[in-house]
Structure 1
Amino acid sequence: MFWVLLLVLAWASAGFACARLCLAAMRTAAADREAAASGRGHDLTLYEAAFLSGGPTRVADLTMVSMARQRRLLLAHTGWATVVDPRGHDEMERSVIGAIGPGGQSLIAPVRAAASGTEAVRTLADDLVRAGLAIPEGAPETVAAGLRQVRATVPVVLALGAAALLLPDGTGTPRSLMCLWFALPLLLTLSGLAIARFEGHSPTRWASPAGQRLLGTLKNRRTGDGGDDGGGDERSFLTSVAVRGIRAIGEPALRAAFTPRDQPWRE
């Protein structure tokens, strides 16, 4: 009857993971109802959209790309950033310039790391959390965490089932019956994942459901910001970078500047 112990473990793993996912979904729904009223009518800035889409690093990337497009920061394809205009227009830009250092030149990778941890980014995150648009740092019971645990439980159940089939069993229990019993906790976990997907729960790390809805609105408006002076096209480009990240950059040289390098060099 050793396989029964493995079955109990499989059920315990699947039940705990699915219960955690359901509890997280309930708490998220309750918090979302409270945040819906406060977030209604909130127009996301590009920095806010960048944080909700990709976190602090995305904010640093957006800031550097924006400055590079204005010719106030040179981003070389070799992975170096050079300050052209040392006067930042806002706190984010001043954070990037400060991260580059007094020499006015630095590798992009450490600048991204330093700029993403500045007080300006932390203040931005705190404001979004208070507005109910961002997930608080270290929140233990989020839908994303629940989904990750349910996904991790699937191979656990499969491994326990395989072990039960491979180990000798003195009771003569048919292997087909064992498979049926282990299929039930597997079906439970797969059903939990399917329901979460159907309900539209996104495993984002940063945006709450209210924040995700605002991001969706921003994406829908992205192509409607045109203007006679071309400013709409620039904002649309930066919005794409904020929402999609570096992969949204169509300029190969600028995109190459953010490519990780193990041993960068200067030209």
Structure 2
Amino acid sequence: MLWVVFLLVAWGAAALSCVRLCLAAARPAPSSGAPSREARGVARAADGPALTLYETAFLAGGPHRVADLALVTMHLRRRLLVAHTGWATVVDPDGRDEVERTVIRAIGPQGQAPIPAVRSAAAAADAVRALADRLVAAGLALPGGAGRDVVAAVRAVRGAALLVAALGAAALLTPGREQRPGGAGVPVLVWFGLPLLLTLGCLAIARMEVHPYSSWASPAGQRLLAERTAAAGGPEGDVLVAVAVSGVRAVADPALRAALGAARHVP
């Protein structure tokens, strides 16, 4: 009767993961009330030709994506040297915007620091938090990356579906499976098919209702991200847009990509 234990585990995993996804999807986003003048300004800018690069980066990947974008921008424009050894060195101490100045401050007075420490400090800085607050107030971002709950819950349901399938396959090889609850005429796979159907149905509903899954962008922000496919400023601008949307994996230089990839402790 070991297969019955497998069945109970399968049902437990399926039920818990599906309940978690339902709760995460149904949880309302905190209301920010009436938008402020600053929030309306962000919304008007977003309704224009495109989001700014920093806005795009935050909506696509959160505060650490903003830090990645700043590091790549400063490296490409020779204001910062991002070495394959995993260290960042200041070349031009005058940042062009507050995020760049935040990166320079994170590197410190010695002008050189490990990239993971710089990235983490820049992502947690006031400049990035202010950017997040503006996007949340404008209705483009989710407060505190609230969408991460949905993303994690979807992954849990997918994992449960795979677990149910694996346990069903294992049950076929387990002795004593002829002793089935509900009568001898019910095949073992039918009992495992029910929790599998539950998980797959839950994933299908989630895909219709809350897809695309995003940790940071609200539905309005996701629509703007979908429209953000080009940037002014030539080939370098295209690279920066790709980094903002897709992260450091969009960097063509393998040494730069490896140096930045080593700092990606937070997804």
Shorter-chain TM-score tier: 0.7 to 0.9
Could you tell me which residue of structure 2 aligns to residue 181 of structure 1? Answer: 191
How is 1:137-176 mapped onto 2 (pairs within 5 angstroms)?
Answer: 137=144, 139=146, 142-158=149-165, 160-161=167-168, 165=172, 166=174, 168=176, 171=179, 174=184
Task: Confirm or deny that 1:237 pairs with 2:239.
Answer: yes
Mean CA deviation greater in 14-23 or 79-88: 14-23
Could you tell me which residue of structure 1 aligns to residue 218 of structure 2? Answer: 208
Q: Is the 8 A contact 1:125 1:134 kept in 2?
A: yes
CA separation of 1:143/1:42 partners in 2, compared to 1, >3 Å: closer, same or farther? farther
- Find the aligned partners of 2:256 and 2:2 in 1 and give their Cα distance: 60
CA separation of 1:4/1:83 partners in 2, compared to 1, >3 Å: closer, same or farther? closer
* Superposed CA offset, 1:3-35 (max 9, x none): 66764654454344334434544456998xx99
How is 1:59-70 mapped onto 2 (pairs within 5 angstroms)?
Answer: 59-70=66-77
- Find the aligned partners of 1:74 and 1:81 in 2 and give their Cα distance: 6
Q: Is the 8 A contact 2:158 2:203 kept in 1?
A: yes
CA separation of 1:175/1:76 partners in 2, compared to 1, >3 Å: closer, same or farther? farther
Q: How many residues align structurally?
A: 250
Among candidates 132, 141, 145, match of residue 139 of structure 2: 132
* Superposed CA offset, 1:72-122 (max 9, x none): 212223332221221222221111001111011122222112211212222
Mean CA deviation greater in 151-160 or 169-178: 169-178
Q: Is the 8 A contact 1:52 1:134 kept in 2?
A: yes
Among candidates 223, 245, 248, match of residue 246 of structure 1: 248
Mean CA deviation greater in 90-99 or 142-151: 142-151
TM-score (norm 1): 0.76
Mean CA deviation greater in 143-152 or 180-189: 143-152
Task: Confirm or deny that 1:107 pairs with 2:97.
Answer: no
Mean CA deviation greater in 1-10 or 181-190: 1-10
- Find the aligned partners of 1:244 and 1:138 in 2 and give their Cα distance: 17
User: CA shift at 1:55, angstroms?
Assistant: 1.9
Q: SS at the partner of 2:217? A: coil
- Which ranges in structure 2 are unaligned for 5 or more consecutive residues? none
RMSD: 3.5
TM-score (norm 2): 0.76
- Find the aligned partners of 1:211 and 1:21 in 2 and give their Cα distance: 22
Q: Is the 8 A contact 1:129 1:136 kept in 2?
A: yes
Report the AA paired with residue 73 of structure 2: S
Q: Is the 8 A contact 1:133 1:210 kept in 2?
A: yes
Q: Is the 8 A contact 2:147 2:215 kept in 1?
A: no
Report the AA paired with residue 55 of structure 1: G
- Find the aligned partners of 1:251 and 1:12 in 2 and give their Cα distance: 46
Report the AA paired with residue 127 of structure 2: A
- Which ranges in structure 1 are unaligned for 5 or more consecutive residues? 226-230, 262-267
Report the AA paired with residue 168 of structure 1: G
Q: Is the 8 A contact 2:157 2:203 kept in 1?
A: yes
- Find the aligned partners of 1:210 and 1:10 in 2 and give their Cα distance: 37
Q: Is the 8 A contact 1:92 1:121 kept in 2?
A: yes
Q: SS at the partner of 1:87? A: coil
